[in-house]
Structure 1
Amino acid sequence: MMRALFSGVSGLKNHQTRMDVIGNNIANVNTTGFKASRVSFQDVLSQTIQGASAAQGNRGGTNPVQVGLGVGVASIDTIFTDGSYQSTGKMTDLAVTGKNLFILSDGTQEYYTRAGNFDFDGSGIYGVTGTGLKVMGWMANAAGEINATGSLTAIQIPEGTSMPPQVSTEIAIANNLSGDGKGIAAGIATADTKMNFEGTLNANTAVGEVVSFQVQTYLASGAQVPVTVNFKKTGEPGTNTWSVTTGDSTIGGQSFTVGTAMSPSTLSIDNGKGGTMTVAVDTAGIIAGATDALKGKTDLSAAANDTGIKLSGVLPADAQEGAVVETTVEVIDGNERVPYTITLTKTANTTENEWKVTKATYTDASGTVQDVTSTIAVTPVTVPATPATFIVEGVNTSTIAVNGLSLDMSGITTDAADTANAALNVYDSLGGAHKVEYTYTKTGVPGEWSVSAKVDGKNVDVTNDKIAFNSKGVLISPTSPNGGPQITVPGSAGATNFPVTMNLFSEDGTPALTQYSGKSTIMATTTDGYAAGTLKNVVANTSGELIGTFSNERTMTLAKVALATFSNPGGLEKAGSNYYVKSANSGERRIVSDGAFAPGSLEGSNVDLAEQFSDMIITQRGFQANSKDITTADEMLEIIANLKR
């Protein structure tokens, strides 16, 4: 009878424990990262009244006769299932999945938790602001790289953290160049252009007087260009000698005399610059007509531009008479870059530093060498006696004289489908920004484009300056990201010059630029360089990396949160405040660097209220039944006690 009482008491006590666990679960139904617990019961020792016996003879065996002595708690287990995830919008909050736990430290001991309500304190330490424990992980190096095999350290990102500048090495170019253009076959044509005029020269004209003839010529655009030919009476009185000029240019300094008794004839006058004046004279000494066959015309559909060149450099002050300095620069012939050669020769003038332009030529896009009438203005400065050097500083729309014909290059345009532009800032080693402007010009070669460039408004040389597409509009040259057009960008004060390559390929290695029909949509998308920046904000990503956003609009990985896992997470010992510590039965912690994170979210409790209420009813009934066991045993004892009455 006493055993029944003892069993009932154990039942009451252990159901009370179960109710305590259920109550704790319900109390933590809204606790971040809380893991519910459950109670498992087991029976305790049994009193053996009769032992078991084996079969003997004609009798079978018998089972043991035992009376149980009550119930005990077998275990209180922590259930490590995932709770629901609640979005907080706070990007320093983190949640994890599976059996992974965050690692916290107070400097001497590690703690583990599923509650990821983290933030930065005043010194930039990432941790639990309520307890001051620090989140452990790995800090990134200056390049934003994480070594997840290194030792764990407390994550600390001070306010005002700076990002050093990164020098640019490439500009990424993408989208499309129009396949509709016909291309620019640049150059200056030199076929004869004849100007016809008629008039009369009077032999009695006074010496020094001028007779002018004017004809109209027309450009390809339809614009009228008047050309004036002047006949000036020269020579001694009584003679009939004339000099000829066209506009403001004397025709080779030539003159001719019209006789008083002449047979019909033709005079051919060389102007000294590749042009001729053909004059027909009748028997009366009257010029009946003349044709000026000046060589040189401009094909305005493919005309040159940007031909005024500004040079700066040094000429040696101690050069001897006849010393020659020659420099070759590039000019724009229709949008083609062509070599322009200037030769300077030291003169015999008494002025010590007088130089003369003795020759100037350039090679047009067709490969023809053209003679150019050039002048040079020299500004005197104090210079060392060193070899001459020249630098191209700029190119301006101007005029050029080719083979004696002055050509005005202003106002010349090209078909929109034949040119395209793209621009982007690049950065030097000190973070200085430099604007790079690319101009793409379709050449006369099918599928080929020529590339020119400016940096901060000044022309720069381009190597590998041709890109090409096949008949399907697919890029075939260059063939690799580092084989594209390249320029050298002058660094700002204190920074070195640096090369920048045009990258025409996507990250997967396929061409990013095409040549299809339609408008050109080419654009410069990114550069790998950037200016210095100051930290503005920090957020976490799905890999547990803390990403900093800087004032230069760049982002960089600053740190990574480490996770721990145990072979038996249920064996961890609860230490309060949602923390666990390692126990003898939890196993050793293993570091996890590739766990899945939910930034801006927190994991809720995994307590299931419906389950807890069901367990509560069952526990209550169990407690009630055990109490009935005790009262029943008590009544039976009372009956026995009343037998003596």
Structure 2
Amino acid sequence: MALSSLFTGLSGIQAHQTRTNVVADNISNINTTGFKARRASFETLLAQTLKQATGAEGETSGTNPVQAGIGVQLKSIDTTFTQGSLQTTGRETDLAVEGDGFFILSDGVTKFYTRDGSFAFDALGRMVNPSNGMVVQGNVADANGEFGATTGLENIQLDLNREIAGLATGRISLSGNIDPGPVASLNTGTQFVTASVISGGPGFPFTLNDEKELDILVTTPEGVTSGIIKIPDAAYLSIDSFLDGINAAIAGNDRLAGKVIAQEDPVAAGNVQIRTTVGGAGVQLTMQDVGTGTALADLGLGGNGSNSIVATGNTLLNDLAQVGAALDAGDGLRFSGTRADGTSFNGTFEITDPTTDTVQTLLDTVAATFGDSVTAALDLTGKIQLTEGAVTGFTIAITMDDSGTGSGLVGDAGLAQHKISTTIFDSQGRSHTMNINLSETAVSNKWSYNVNVDNQPPLSGGTGTILFDDQGSVRAFTPVEGEGTFLEYTPDGMFPLKIDFTGVALPERGINGLTQFAAPSTADVVDQNGRAAGRLDTFFIGSDGVIEGRFTNGETLNLARVNLADFNNPGGLQRLGGNLWGETVNTGPPKVEIATETIESQIAAGTLELSNVDLAQEFSDLIIAQRGFQANARVVTTTDQILSETVNLKQ
């Protein structure tokens, strides 16, 4: 009988020795990268049945079985796959898995799995584990940075000297706000003057077969302002499209923008009228051909404009330089102000006949609304004056109430301008400077745009108009040549650039487009797909395992992706040494995953996962194993004493 307890105690010694070994292994690997602690579990051996159980008989109850245990054995050594803490290393190729999954390594024949992400690039550009030379597995992106199927694992190998070719710009998008400035208003400080105008025109429809250049000069007492405009060749089906072309061409000249505008002649319908927005004694508009050109004759325009003068009461409203787009019947001029005593007055003067309505008819309406039997007139300097014993201390502001025909005023603040400059690229990746000039027109919610590349006009699509709705969003972005016209420019010795140029919202690319709000101008180029040639400069690894290269031209491109492997039963993995695991028949096949996409885990670059060993827990387990070993050893010594006493019974 004593022999049974001897072997029972021995089984306990053996089991607790194994548990001690497991604890010792955990403690020894407390600083091993990616190490996962293990735990030893026990189970009972088959019990010896000394007496079987019996059932009840009559009034006698049944009896329970009588069994004596014969010891303990090791049930399992399980791996604890809890997350280890992350330690920042500063090395971009050090990787850690946050969550489930393993990095995949290959020796060219067999796949291995690890939580140790101490990787580096070798001389061939392969991402490897330097301690064993195995290559990290994943997907290599194609030339466009796209990935194929995740199941097609391959060695992650990069060309660390990679260069990317230049790419011609094919798309430019504008976005942001352009401030229209204050509402055009005429007031008591405004000097009313006539515009210097030149009228004429080729008749419409009209086709311009080649670009025309005009040299426009504005003479003032301070000197001469001149600039050359280039009117693009196009089929102008109406006078409106031709006027848009001229105004867009003017917008591209810094010296003329805001000082000269084109409109339809309010007296001779169908004729073009080019006029100044400034005036007064000594102001005159003149135009001349450039070189041996014949633009004036071809366009049916004269060379000398009328002389500007200070306006009088008899001046037609449409002759004023302050009228940037001719007034039409039904339009209104709203006015409001305050009297010297602080009381306010307001009213509207409605245009009934623009060919006869004069400044005085407007002022008579103002005076009648002001009351107190005052009269209104322009003084010798062209400023509004109210008289009846010399009324002073009054204010007045006159604004436009357009009936929808496209009329407008030019206020004392002038017309708003906004300039944008960006870099575009040709087919060889050479850079070119594109300048975009946005110029407000006198018509509410309408702007002209003019584009030049390297100070040269494009072949097409470089001029046009932008229309906003009343809420400040773009309603139309139209080149002079018509909808769908690409901005085309041919650099010296290069293939032509055809650029989709727009300022409308493109939600699919996250572009809001241009807006027109009373807020600071922020409009700029937010999207262009061209680039210069570049060389790989550095790389970054994202939480999805994608290795993204950054090139010297500022471009970024996906180079490769580190994939993870997951198992239905990771506890079935076999430890192989060197921080490696191997799959077994009990793990199930590996599932190749993409971090953050097909699995909730993510990859942290520049960090390593520390061991998940809990030292306090291990010391506790070590004490328990020690006590268990001691207790079982005492069973053996006690049994030995019993055997010794049994032998001595004969003496």
TM bracket, shorter-chain basis? 0.5 to 0.7
Determine the C-alpha separation between the residues in 2 that align with 1:122 and 1:517. Answer: 59
AA matched with 1:189: V
Pair 77,375 (structure 1): closer, same or farther in 2 beyond 3 Å: closer
Alignment of 1:79 with 2:80, yes or no, is: yes
3-state SS of 2:649 partner:
helix
- Alignment match, 2:298: none
Alignment of 1:366 with 2:267, yes or no, is: no
Which residue, 188, 197, 201 being the options, matches 1:189?
197
Give the CA deviation at 1:114: 1.0
Pair 337,96 (structure 1): closer, same or farther in 2 beyond 3 Å: closer
Q: In the alignment, is the contact (CA less than 8 A) between 1:181 and 1:418 conserved in 2?
A: no
Alignment of 1:470 with 2:371, yes or no, is: no
Give the CA deviation at 1:109: 0.1
Which residue, 443, 447, 450 being the options, matches 1:445?
443
Pair 181,190 (structure 1): closer, same or farther in 2 beyond 3 Å: farther
Give the CA deviation at 1:488: 1.2
Q: In the alignment, is the contact (CA less than 8 A) between 1:138 and 1:147 conserved in 2?
A: yes
Alignment of 1:616 with 2:537, yes or no, is: no
3-state SS of 1:458 partner:
coil
- Alignment match, 2:432: 434
Alignment of 1:307 with 2:305, yes or no, is: no
Determine the C-alpha separation between the residues in 1 that align with 2:34 and 2:294. Answer: 69
- Alignment match, 1:546: 547
Larger proportion of strand: 1
Q: In the alignment, is the contact (CA less than 8 A) between 1:170 and 1:527 conserved in 2?
A: yes
Alignment of 1:455 with 2:453, yes or no, is: yes
3-state SS of 1:644 partner:
coil
Determine the C-alpha separation between the residues in 2 that align with 1:584 and 1:447. Answer: 73
Which residue, 402, 411, 414 being the options, matches 2:303?
402
Pair 172,376 (structure 1): closer, same or farther in 2 beyond 3 Å: closer
Determine the C-alpha separation between the residues in 1 that align with 2:252 and 2:128. Answer: 61
3-state SS of 2:179 partner:
coil
- Alignment match, 1:511: 512
Alignment of 1:103-502 (within 5 A): 103-180=104-181, 188-190=196-198, 223=221, 305-307=226-228, 335-336=250-251, 364-366=262-264, 368-369=271-272, 374=288, 377=291, 402-403=303-304, 418-460=416-458, 461-462=460-461, 465-478=464-477, 486-502=486-502
Determine the C-alpha separation between the residues in 2 that align with 1:605 and 1:490. Answer: 62
3-state SS of 1:307 partner:
strand
Q: Deviations over 1:203-235 (max 9, x none)?
A: xxxxxxxxxxxxxxxx9997278xxxxxxxxxx
Identical amino acids, percent of aligned pairs: 34
3-state SS of 2:63 partner:
coil
Pair 402,17 (structure 1): closer, same or farther in 2 beyond 3 Å: same
Determine the C-alpha separation between the residues in 2 that align with 1:174 and 1:511. Answer: 6
- Alignment match, 1:635: 641
- Alignment match, 1:603: 609
Q: In the alignment, is the contact (CA less than 8 A) between 1:22 and 1:615 conserved in 2?
A: yes
Provide the aligned length of Structure 1 versus Structure 2. 477
Q: In the alignment, is the contact (CA less than 8 A) between 2:16 and 2:628 conserved in 1?
A: yes
AA matched with 1:419: Q
- Alignment match, 1:625: 631
Pair 94,406 (structure 1): closer, same or farther in 2 beyond 3 Å: farther
AA matched with 2:63: T
Q: Deviations over 1:571-630 (max 9, x none)?
A: 010111111111111111111122422222211111111111111111111011001111
TM-score normalised by the chain length of structure 2:
0.66
AA matched with 1:519: P
Determine the C-alpha separation between the residues in 2 that align with 1:3 and 1:55. Answer: 32
Give the CA deviation at 1:187: 8.6
Rg larger in 1 or in 2?
A: 1
Q: Deviations over 1:435-456 (max 9, x none)?
A: 1110000012111111100101
Q: Deviations over 1:451-475 (max 9, x none)?
A: 1001011122436721122333233
Gaps of 5+ in 1: 192-218, 226-299, 312-327, 339-361, 379-389, 393-399, 408-413
- Alignment match, 2:534: 533
3-state SS of 1:96 partner:
strand
AA matched with 1:48: T
Determine the C-alpha separation between the residues in 1 that align with 2:99 and 2:528. Answer: 40
3-state SS of 1:335 partner:
helix
AA matched with 2:626: Q
Pair 625,119 (structure 1): closer, same or farther in 2 beyond 3 Å: same
3-state SS of 2:575 partner:
strand
TM-score normalised by the chain length of structure 1:
0.67
